[in-house]
Structure 1
């Protein structure tokens, strides 16, 4: 398999065993010579003296130089360097340009495996290596940029006609943008700005990559070299401009950078959708606020798309109260623009009736009712309530089972606790003659308060538990009544249980530590109110935001 250039010399002096073992491995087709810690120098001596540098490849079409580069490790650099010296001899011709089965040269492998110094030596040895592209359409320059090897890139860049190709029709600038390598991007834009207009198989230019990755610094460098790139559109069916892509991802910094260099950059695609439509559809509140704060872009607020939807139509349809609130706050908003079916934005809520019990749906409903008082809000509310009622009737059995299971579990737990507390009285029982078995603290007012509150808690919780037995009728009105009654009883049971706990501890602790007893009572009594506040917090925030426009009719339905 291997040609000899020089006469053989005594094998014992050059590490015959090492050489023969590795040569056998190469000729067997593995292409992976085993090089131990003590073997590189022997192989270095063996290779040139035996002439084992001739480019006759193995069955993977790998020459010894390629194999050496692929297996190169720390401390083995001299082996590849020795082979490289042999490959640069005039007698070997173009052997250094040989490729393996994947079309990779030794330079491809050197860059891919991180051997920067060796890669630079290979480039210096033969400039033609910079032009060879493997079967995956990867050039050495593309790999160098992807690995972030600036020195290797500079050396390749300074060679005339060096290839910059990459897979899927990417080029070196695509790779530089992927890595946000400002230095390489600046060099390419200065010397070969035409690469910025090349599209890959997805139709993306390098600046499109930067937009998708929210790389505002990269966009700034590219547009400073060529502002016209800010007006490019994707080569897809809808011809989306760069700002459209930024809106899809909510990249405010990118949009701001594009508009800084290109104030009149396109804001609409071929289908008529604007960047405001897209930001609303994707739910990017910050981007919507950015558009509305820009006097030039705010003109998009009432523009209709192919379905005659404005941005407000989409915001209402998606039940996004934050965006609806931002749009309604703009002075130029028109809430009475009709879509293709002749419906204003308010009526897009009918498309989201399945969410009619959600806070978002109700907040949007209340916001639109306030913004457009003349709309048929009452009728829309009736439609929503009817749909909720019909849906609840279909699920009445599961709803009944869910409510009864949850309430009965909590009710039985409270009843058990309060029943046990009645027989483990605070202070215990007296052993004195004549009053044996009577509570020690029986004369204290707080003890009497403990008994009363404990009794009320047990009775109310037991009542809830037994009401669960009655909640078996598949009737919506009964279920609503049952839920309201049990909810009130459970709150009463919780409050009286905490009062019983507080008064019981006060009776025992107060004689020794008055301040501690008061603290315990305060914390215990505050618990029900704190629980209610936390449970109702989302509703309270909604009430605070909407003020007089707040209506809880639908939220109180099943």
Structure 2
């Protein structure tokens, strides 16, 4: 079935000193010029009429004639396209779609970089500057698709493409920053090759502020930092939506460590990853630019990292390159975001720090943002809203931002005055009523299980309760509820889910502990090798050391499994009061899991010793294989349960939420480079 042909009427209007096509009408015209060749468009050897673009001229284009080229470009089939181009002169600049796309537009849009490279070699440089009906060049499509290879090919042929604007006045650089957040190297490359000239003016033009804000929102604070250092005025510029870089930073918490969620192992590795904020493009990008524009990189700009740390980091990258590099890139992004914030603050005055920016940062819990602002504008620590409500402390409590809570609460006069502030909200009450509310879902889900979530909520309530004067603890809100009554009401469902989770976990673990106790108890009376007439084990005299390993490990497995059984049984028979979730139930669960782990490990040791005794060193490879498999099973159990166990230990016996931090010391940590 042939595609419907379209009659495309173009109006060439001057825009920015160049002719810009504007689609006026689209109509359907079934005029198949190729039917004289048997209906096969590829068999036509007649030259296709050249499409002229004089002002005011209406063009009638038969799109069916270009259908083979369209198909070849969209599929990346260069051989088919080359045959068509050889037999149809001037078809490389023909508009082959209803949206006035050329073959180069189609290939770049579909991401066929090899096709683009080959087509670029045979077309004139001016063809690369052609706009389609949407108002994009081929470079714009390559930038949107994040195709660095196509972008290099296009700019190698025509470097002026970086200055070519789309119908909305955007450069390829701005489109890449907006749509190609997965390809940082492409954004760096376009930034370096785009000249600061008209009509683009990416760093000083009307859309310069948009570029910085989009880079921050796309997760490229290091590129924004580079721009702000080159053009300090961009730190305070507003985009078309009246947003400054400070606004965007406050809304994008993933650019900061406090707004990122790290796993258990990532949290352990993160502090030791070396990063160096050099505020410049990577060496690979500099090399690419140097090949196209003869821009030589400065050999003095090297990472100054201690040789031992670099060697260790290199070894780590070889072991698990993908995971560690992702974590390293995240840490670099966090450091660059803080440095970018500092550069912005250098250009700001206190009057420019709007209240809503601080409110957004406090809501998102971006501690680095608050620390840096307070460093430059210390008076913000006393920030009061028009309703005489202190801003930071209620937000830290309501949204459960632990680090922010530690900063604003301390033993200073300022902190005590802040903590004694009553809430002037619609619901009434004190800050203890805020702690009594259920935590927001993102903060609640950061804890692994309902039981620990309930424990965390109780810890928050207890900590805030210490800050409130005893005279205010029994204050009522507008619904006539005390903070304790509100806590019970808000957390009723969470307590029920925590109880169900603990009982289900205990039942499952009790089954395993019972099986282990049964097996090891029976093994104590049916020792390997049997007994002699006096009842003594036959293998006791032949291999006494290995036999003792069997006896001791079997006894440890029995006692550990029984201990685990008792702990889980005590969980099943607990009363499940709110206070039990704070210490009692988590401790029992920890003891039960630890005992179960020792029971499994001891049972595997007893099993390995039994194999050695039975085989009597005749098949060593069998003993080694079975022992290795047993070790793997124990290690697997530890890996699966260790994260939960560590989280329970930290939550129950770790440092309290209330650990006041000196704001000056916390800012030093913020500025410290790994």
Residue 247 of structure 2 is aligned to residue 244 of structure 1: yes
Matched with 2:347 is 264
Distance 1:69 1:222, change over 3 A: farther
8 Å CA contact 1:304–1:310 kept in 2: the answer is yes
Q: CA deviation at 1:439?
A: 5.9
Q: CA deviation at 1:263?
A: 2.0
For residues 260-303 of structure 1, give each alpha carbon's deviation from its aligned partner in whole angstroms, at most 9, with x where no partner exists.
266234889998322x43334334455455545xx215543443
Distance 1:406 1:151, change over 3 A: closer
Task: Give the distance between the partners of 1:419 and 1:311, measured in 2 at CA.
Answer: 60
8 Å CA contact 2:104–2:116 kept in 1: the answer is no
Task: Give the distance between the partners of 2:188 and 2:433, measured in 1 at CA.
Answer: 49
Residue 457 of structure 2 is aligned to residue 361 of structure 1: yes
Task: Give the distance between the partners of 2:116 and 2:597, measured in 1 at CA.
Answer: 74
8 Å CA contact 2:406–2:657 kept in 1: the answer is no
Residues 4-15 of structure 1 aligned to structure 2 (within 5 Å): none
Matched with 1:18 is none
Task: Give the distance between the partners of 2:408 and 2:347, measured in 1 at CA.
Answer: 22
Matched with 1:351 is 437
Distance 1:386 1:217, change over 3 A: closer
Task: Give the distance between the partners of 2:539 and 2:67, measured in 1 at CA.
Answer: 99
Matched with 1:310 is 391
Q: CA deviation at 1:210?
A: 1.3
Matched with 2:98 is 101
Residue 213 of structure 2 is aligned to residue 208 of structure 1: yes
For residues 153-182 of structure 1, give each alpha carbon's deviation from its aligned partner in whole angstroms, at most 9, with x where no partner exists.
524568xxxx5115x774444125454145
Q: Which moved more, 1:50-59 or 1:101-110?
A: 50-59
Task: Give the distance between the partners of 1:227 and 1:416, measured in 2 at CA.
Answer: 74
8 Å CA contact 2:558–2:599 kept in 1: the answer is no
Distance 1:475 1:219, change over 3 A: closer
Pairs aligned (count): 469
Structure 2 portions without partners, runs of 5+: 6-32, 52-58, 145-149, 179-185, 256-333, 445-451, 476-481, 617-630, 636-640, 660-674
Q: CA deviation at 1:457?
A: 7.8
Distance 1:501 1:80, change over 3 A: closer
Alpha-carbon RMSD across the aligned residues, in angstroms, is 6.3
Task: Give the distance between the partners of 1:534 and 1:461, measured in 2 at CA.
Answer: 17
Task: Give the distance between the partners of 2:215 and 2:484, measured in 1 at CA.
Answer: 49
Q: CA deviation at 1:427?
A: 6.5
Distance 1:392 1:211, change over 3 A: closer
8 Å CA contact 2:177–2:215 kept in 1: the answer is yes
Secondary structure of the 1:260 match is helix
Residue 146 of structure 2 is aligned to residue 151 of structure 1: no
Residue 357 of structure 2 is aligned to residue 278 of structure 1: no
Distance 1:125 1:323, change over 3 A: closer
Matched with 1:429 is 531
Task: Give the distance between the partners of 2:106 and 2:596, measured in 1 at CA.
Answer: 73
Task: Give the distance between the partners of 2:392 and 2:502, measured in 1 at CA.
Answer: 41
Matched with 1:340 is 424
Larger Rg: 1
Q: Of 136, 139, 148, which residue of structure 2 is paired with 1:138? A: 136
8 Å CA contact 1:310–1:337 kept in 2: the answer is no
Matched with 2:522 is 420
Q: CA deviation at 1:207?
A: 2.1
Q: CA deviation at 1:102?
A: 1.4
Task: Give the distance between the partners of 1:119 and 1:52, measured in 2 at CA.
Answer: 21
Q: Of 367, 376, 390, which residue of structure 2 is paired with 1:296? A: 376
Distance 1:247 1:494, change over 3 A: closer
Task: Give the distance between the partners of 1:396 and 1:156, measured in 2 at CA.
Answer: 61
The two structures have a TM-score, normalised by structure 2, of 0.50
Structure 1 portions without partners, runs of 5+: 2-22, 35-42, 88-94, 513-522, 550-558
For residues 300-356 of structure 1, give each alpha carbon's deviation from its aligned partner in whole angstroms, at most 9, with x where no partner exists.
344356884623322222223233224436976533444432655454212226969
Secondary structure of the 1:545 match is coil
Matched with 1:39 is none
Task: Give the distance between the partners of 2:471 and 2:136, measured in 1 at CA.
Answer: 62
Distance 1:412 1:448, change over 3 A: closer
8 Å CA contact 2:140–2:171 kept in 1: the answer is yes
Secondary structure of the 2:437 match is helix
Distance 1:268 1:375, change over 3 A: farther
8 Å CA contact 2:72–2:81 kept in 1: the answer is no
Q: CA deviation at 1:448?
A: 11
Secondary structure of the 1:189 match is coil
